[in-house]
Amino acid sequence: MTKILLVSLWFIIAVKTQSPCDEVSFVNRAGWGAREPTSITNLTRKPLSFYVIHHTYSPPNCYDDASCIQRVKSIQNYHQLEERWVDIGYHFLVGENGKVYEGRGWSRQAAHSPGWNDDAYGKKLFI
């Protein structure tokens, strides 16, 4: 849990400064095998004003790369196939292994908080 909180703190700082951090493992979309979005809406302003942290508790936990990748894929499947969204709803996701997984990334509008999606970064924590 401490590692997740530290990664979250890093993420908030990175959002505010828009600068990379070499001490955090980042997994891009290709690295976790993301499907392509069915549509793309780019953010019209950056940086965004708000930062929304979502959390989930759905066993089993993901303490290794394979299980965390499976959780991220499962969320993308749910969002695209069940909810009929164009892609995974979050900008980034943080696994219990401490790695940050790219969702929609910095430049695309997400679908995590109705009414706030055009002015808030969204991140999902696995706890």
For the chain, domain boundaries? 2-126
Going by C-beta distance under 8 Å and a sequence separation of 6 or more, which residues neighbour residue 19? Answer: none
0.85 exceeded by pTM = no
> How confident is the model over 113-126, as a mean pLDDT?
67
Going by C-beta distance under 8 Å and a sequence separation of 6 or more, which residues neighbour residue 51? Answer: 12, 15, 120, 121, 123
Cα–Cα distance, 127 to 17 (Å, whole number) = 26
Amino acid code (one letter) for 31? G
DSSP classification of residue 42: B
How, if at all, do strands 100-102 and 26-27 pair? Answer: parallel
- Class of the CATH domain delimited by 2-126: alpha beta
> How confident is the model over 106-121, as a mean pLDDT?
74
pLDDT confidence band for 111 (50 / 70 / 90): confident
Give how far the C-alpha of residue 52 lies from the chain's centroid of Cα atoms, to the nearest Å: 11
pLDDT of residue 7: 57
User: Per-residue pLDDT tens for 1-55?
Assistant: 555 555 555 555 555 445 555 678 999 999 999 999 999 888 877 777 777 777 7
pLDDT of residue 16: 47
